[in-house]
A and B are shown apart, each in its own frame.
Chain A
């Protein structure tokens, strides 16, 4: 009887062990090729060759993180090419790259033997390939995360760390223009943008820093106040006709811009949207007087660090030349109050209108193990993931 009972227990234990999730039971293994799809096209891995646009710059930074040893003080990756976790095995500029595992990497050989990268894949194709298990890793737009998840894609979402904001390009002086900016800011229904356009992947933005970083974002209103906007608009004697620009390659910007135009029109503000060429990788984006005249434009601001003072300083660096914001640099030891007042000062100028905070969303295949969501400013930890052989593609 006891024996029978022991056998039953053994059988039940075996069944339960078999029923346990495999990844929880498996140990990291070496081998396999990690398939990665990039939206951007990287034309060169040479650090001296500048990227053509921010997307390429971001993608190049991710590749550099795999090929180089570590970052320098300025944030750039340093060391000899191939000193990182991977070495370049194959390179077809702008199309395909294969990185082989560096056996002599100082932090140890990565788990995967190689990383195969397809470049220039559209967001739609990336999501589709994730659904069809044709790729192991790809970043997907936040607004498509919900749909991808509904279609069975394993989605990893970061904290909202990318700000979509409306920036008035060196707006003219005077109270009239300031009130127009205020009216536009109040007319924008940020919640609807988050819920409908971003499909609830994000947060309405009232300030330049997210709540999780600064802890003071709740002090900035994100509620739409159409009535207030109408009242302000009614007080303006000669309402100017403004043009809002958006990046020609960014469908999210286009959709948000159109929504802002609708909101502004509802408040009686004359605002139209216009496509502008993709912004360059370096420099200060479009300025007044460029070939395509716009009065304001949408920009994406990705936090370089979880630290609020660092991110705010970086934002000010970027927004300053565009909107003419002049502010004293934040010291590294700035207190939360200093950061808030600096942020409030910029918000009061009305030159920057935060719209939404968006997370970084990644689609990951089921065989990828030990994926850790990178923090703001960090690169993809592809050297740390390993592939489960039971989920062979």
Chain B
């Protein structure tokens, strides 16, 4: 991963973290705000219900008191206060009075608690309603919640009692309204809210006792935990019920216990607040936040990419410069902008490359001096041998002319022969140097490397088996279907000749000369190995250096010429050697050289030779 990518990823991670934190913060804050609004809304509704409940209670009390104060009731009370009063004539009165006063329940109860007439259960006449006769100020008691037995079963009612006293006898008017679906239907509820009522009329939770304005409630058993808690400890509580896995189906219920005269739990009002709207709004806001975050992320992505590119540009330039330097282009420079760390780094890089160039110049200069010294040494060494016989021969001539004139003619003849031979030797030495300096440019053409190898072996066949010399056995392993290569036939022939000569010199005691050709990934390989004495490590490292030789009378140019020819063909040459085992040279020649190379390592010397020639 590049530095720019890493920087970009770090920028993005920081951006994503920031966006996630902001989104989460907005969501939490929104939810809290909605919850608070919801709570206020529900509190208002609960308060409204309490007011409505109180108003209904006052209304019931008012109607019951109205019945008690009405003339027929007073007449009934007067009539019933008489001894041996016939109460049977009033047995059906409650029904009509209840209808006219729109009461669900109405009972006329005698002073002993006997029911004289009952609207909700006319057949209960004569039975006792003893709780009415308990000493209580019904006028100040107001309305209250009560459990009543009816024909259809127990019911919850908002009741009130009024007493009509005639003499020492009371006539009680007990009336009320059923607290059921009609009552719930009369409540004005805002949208997404509903009111349920649990009628606590049984000893255990009964789903059928949970009603709403339409009657029974679906999945009423889900309310059991709330109701059981209320039954254990009647108090206002809030509970959320999720009807499905969808959070929008959730409904928050506020449970309000309704107690009777003796603080017994008779009912639980459940104000349900649907979370659908809130959840929908929250989701809308969340999606909006996600959308904004996505845009922010995209924008951040672009900014991060731009910032990463801007920050890493000098670094990438430095990296490119370093690659250039590693490729050998030591003159590479990077632009220096600013004086920050990157600028200082670029400046240091430029100084470093400048230093490298200077050091290379100094090294080249030193190598040139060393090369010239080597050339001078070689020349001196090569020229010293023929010069000494020349000097002694000329001195011998001078001496013969002065001291033995009679023998001068004979000495002169012998001496001139020697002089000519040594001069010829000098010419040979000079010719070799000249040949190395005058390495021609290769003239490329289709060449079959196997043919060249066979020709060279044929050329040296006689020397391999020369008399008085230990035999050398050539072994050829020439690859079949070897492609022709674009090369200079003459130069390659010369290079292989030099390698064969070098191998023969390395095997004074004879041995095996193995040559192998093969095709290798668009190149043609040539390997020549001997079983000679081998090279030391130092010798192997310097074996291609011009004028370096390990032989007594070698010029040190043979392998240098081979390397120059291989380099001119865009090939590579390497050597492997082991003392006492032998040496192997490996040539790798392209089938088609990409360009015409004219600069290789030994060219330095060659160039110098050319300059000198120029």
Measured CB to CB, the residues of A under 8 A from B are 146, 189, 192, 195-197, 199-200, 255, 258-259, 261-262, 266, 273
Give the complex CA separation of A42 and B217 in angstroms: 48
A-B CB contact pairs (8 Å), 14 listed:
A189-B126, A195-B88, A196-B88, A196-B91, A196-B125, A197-B91, A258-B121, A258-B122, A258-B123, A258-B151, A261-B123, A262-B121, A262-B123, A273-B151
Chain B residue contacts of A258, Cβ below 8 A: 121-123, 151
Chain B residue contacts of A255, Cβ below 8 A: 122-123
Give the complex CA separation of A277 and B218 in angstroms: 33
Give the complex CA separation of A259 and B92 in angstroms: 13
Q: Which of B126-142 contact A (CB under 8 A)?
A: 126-127
- Indicate whether A196 sits within 8 Å of B127 (C-beta atoms), given known contacts A146-B89, A258-B151, A262-B121: no
Chain B residue contacts of A200, Cβ below 8 A: 88
Contact B126 A199 (CB under 8 A): no
Contact B89 A259 (CB under 8 A): no
Chain B residue contacts of A266, Cβ below 8 A: 127
B406 to chain A, nearest CB (A): 177
Apart from A196-B91, A258-B121, list 7 A-B contacts with CB within 8 A: A192-B126, A195-B88, A197-B91, A258-B122, A259-B123, A261-B123, A266-B127
Contact B89 A199 (CB under 8 A): yes
Q: Could you tell me how many residues of chain B have their Cβ less than 8 Å away from some Cβ of chain A?
A: 11
* Neighbour of A192 across the interface among B89, B121, B125, CB < 8 A: B125
Chain B residue contacts of A195, Cβ below 8 A: 88
Chain B residue contacts of A192, Cβ below 8 A: 125-126
Chain A residue contacts of B91, Cβ below 8 A: 196-197, 199
Give the complex CA separation of A146 and B92 in angstroms: 13
Chain A residue contacts of B124, Cβ below 8 A: 262
Total contacts A-B at CB 8 Å: 29
Measured CB to CB, the residues of B under 8 A from A are 88-89, 91, 121-127, 151
Give the complex CA separation of A189 and B121 in angstroms: 16
Give the complex CA separation of A262 and B89 in angstroms: 20
Chain A residue contacts of B121, Cβ below 8 A: 258, 262
Give the complex CA separation of A283 and B89 in angstroms: 38
> What residue in chain A is nearest B149 (Cβ atoms)?
A265
Give the complex CA separation of A40 and B539 in angstroms: 146
Chain A residue contacts of B151, Cβ below 8 A: 258, 261, 273
Give the complex CA separation of A75 and B210 in angstroms: 60
A256 to chain B, nearest CB (A): 8
Give the complex CA separation of A147 and B151 in angstroms: 26
B363 to chain A, nearest CB (A): 120
* Neighbour of B127 across the interface among A197, A199, A262, A273, CB < 8 A: A262
Give the complex CA separation of A195 and B126 in angstroms: 11
Contact A199 B88 (CB under 8 A): yes
> What residue in chain B is nearest A199 (Cβ atoms)?
B88
Give the complex CA separation of A259 and B88 in angstroms: 14
B479 to chain A, nearest CB (A): 111
> What residue in chain B is nearest A198 (Cβ atoms)?
B88
B79 to chain A, nearest CB (A): 13
Chain A residue contacts of B127, Cβ below 8 A: 262, 266
* Neighbour of B126 across the interface among A196, A261, A273, CB < 8 A: A196
Give the complex CA separation of A199 and B124 in angstroms: 15
> What residue in chain B is nearest A272 (Cβ atoms)?
B151
Give the complex CA separation of A255 and B91 in angstroms: 12
B123 to chain A, nearest CB (A): 4
> What residue in chain B is nearest A261 (Cβ atoms)?
B123
Chain B residue contacts of A259, Cβ below 8 A: 123
Give the complex CA separation of A200 and B124 in angstroms: 17
> What residue in chain B is nearest A265 (Cβ atoms)?
B149
Give the complex CA separation of A258 and B123 in angstroms: 6
B114 to chain A, nearest CB (A): 11
A152 to chain B, nearest CB (A): 16
A189 to chain B, nearest CB (A): 7
Give the complex CA separation of A61 and B91 in angstroms: 35
Chain A residue contacts of B123, Cβ below 8 A: 255, 258-259, 261-262
> What residue in chain A is nearest B90 (Cβ atoms)?
A196
Give the complex CA separation of A353 and B562 in angstroms: 143
Chain A residue contacts of B126, Cβ below 8 A: 189, 192, 196
Chain B residue contacts of A146, Cβ below 8 A: 89
Give the complex CA separation of A263 and B121 in angstroms: 13
Choose among B91, B123, B126 the residue with the greatest number of A CB atoms under 10 Å from its CB: B123
Give the complex CA separation of A252 and B126 in angstroms: 18
Give the complex CA separation of A195 and B122 in angstroms: 14
Chain B residue contacts of A261, Cβ below 8 A: 123, 151
Give the complex CA separation of A255 and B89 in angstroms: 15
Chain B residue contacts of A197, Cβ below 8 A: 91
A42 to chain B, nearest CB (A): 30
Which 5 A/B pairs are nearest by Cβ-Cβ distance? A258-B123, A259-B123, A196-B91, A195-B88, A262-B123
Give the complex CA separation of A255 and B125 in angstroms: 11
Give the complex CA separation of A343 and B124 in angstroms: 31
A202 to chain B, nearest CB (A): 12
Chain B residue contacts of A262, Cβ below 8 A: 121, 123-124, 127
Choose among A192, A196, A199 the residue with the greatest number of B CB atoms under 10 Å from its CB: A196
A384 to chain B, nearest CB (A): 34
> What residue in chain B is nearest A150 (Cβ atoms)?
B89
> What residue in chain B is nearest A147 (Cβ atoms)?
B89
Give the complex CA separation of A261 and B152 in angstroms: 12
A269 to chain B, nearest CB (A): 15
B225 to chain A, nearest CB (A): 32
A128 to chain B, nearest CB (A): 15
> What residue in chain A is nearest B125 (Cβ atoms)?
A196
Give the complex CA separation of A258 and B150 in angstroms: 11
Give the complex CA separation of A146 and B567 in angstroms: 145
Chain A residue contacts of B122, Cβ below 8 A: 255, 258
Chain A residue contacts of B89, Cβ below 8 A: 146, 199
Give the complex CA separation of A273 and B126 in angstroms: 20
Give the complex CA separation of A146 and B88 in angstroms: 11
B152 to chain A, nearest CB (A): 10
A63 to chain B, nearest CB (A): 33
